[in-house]
Amino acid sequence: MATRGLFISFEGIDGAGKSSHIEPLAEAFRDQGRTVTRTREPGGTPLAESLRSLLLGEAMDPLTEALLAFAARRDHICQVIAPALARGEVVLCDRFTDATFAYQGAGRGFSTETLSILERMVQTGIALEPDLMLEPHLTLWFDLPPALAASRLESARAPDRFEAQDADFFARVAQGYAERAQSAPQRFVRIDAAQSRHSVWQQITQALVRRGWLAIMVAAGGGPR
């Protein structure tokens, strides 16, 4: 089994089931002797967590949203993600740049050309390969109809500024994810998140087993309880 750093992001609309599967996957990697850094965006460092509070709590225009998301990401990459990958760890990240394209791009209607420029600026010039743009090796895209995601979230918690958006917003965000997945089919794996927790877990572990990143026995057991 490979021991190089492995960067896996979890993406999808709010309520798609990402967070429920990150710790079980972290456990599966730990069971195989890997060190795991579990983190999230926006967030993952003290500075980026402060920016998260602003993003999720304060009204602002789409350019400000995009700049704050990328500023938080730069700090997160420099302080947490790149060092962990350089140490050979597995980094499991709840959202990354695809979320900016889906929420600020497709959801808010902000220019994807500008987002692409920011993406390149923020994700290059760091760590082991400074000329290359840092990207996840794999993105698990939890694809779920917005109405089902909303019904799952209804009883879960009070909505933040994004979760409080209307159905049209989430339809655009979902479409944004679909387009992003289509543009990078080698990186994205679509998870049918409308299925049971057991089925979702099977889909995730099978994707990792196929790449040789998890042993087959892990796919048979475990998962969220």
Ligand X SMILES: Nc1ncnc2c1ncn2[C@@H]1O[C@H](COP(=O)(O)OP(=O)(O)OP(=O)(O)O)[C@@H](O)[C@H]1O
Ligand Y SMILES: Cc1cn([C@H]2C[C@H](O)[C@@H](COP(=O)(O)O)O2)c(=O)[nH]c1=O
Binding string, residues 5-44; x marks residues near ligand Y by CB under 6 A? ---------x-------------------------xxx--
Stretch that binds ligand Y, among 92-100, 148-156, 183-191, 210-218 (CB under 6 A): 92-100
The count of residues interacting with ligand Y (CB under 6 A) is 14
Q: Which does 117 bind (CB under 5 to 8 A by kind): ligand X, ligand Y, none?
A: none
Task: Provide the token pair at 203.
Answer: 């889909």
Which of ligand Y, ligand X, none does residue 152 bind to, with CB < 5 to 8 Å depending on kind? ligand X
Closer to ligand X by CB, 125 or 159: give it: 159
13 carries a ligand binding annotation: yes
**Does the annotation flag 147 for ligand binding?**
no
Contacts 24+ apart (CB under 8 A), 127-130: 127/82, 127/83, 127/85, 127/86, 128/82, 128/85, 128/86
Give the range of 22-30, 93-101, 116-124, 198-206 binding ligand Y by CB under 6 A: 93-101
Instruction: Provide CB contacts within 8 A for 64, sequence distance 6+.
Output: none
Is residue 10 within 8 A of residue 21, CB to CB? The reply is: yes
What single-letter amino acid sits at 81?
I
- Which residue ranges make up the site for ligand X (CB under 6 A)? 12, 14-20, 152-153, 156, 196-197, 200
Element (H, E) at 36: strand 36-40
100 binds ligand Y (CB under 6 A): yes
Closest CB to ligand X among residues 5, 223: 223
- Phi first, then psi, for residue 164 (nearest 5°) are -85, -5
- Strand 188-192 versus strand 90-94 pairing type: unpaired
Which residues are bridge partners to 132 per DSSP?
A: none
Please report, as ranges, the residues that interact with ligand Y according to CB under 6 A.
Answer: 14, 40-42, 56, 69, 94-95, 99-100, 103-104, 162-163
Known binding residues for ATP = 12-19
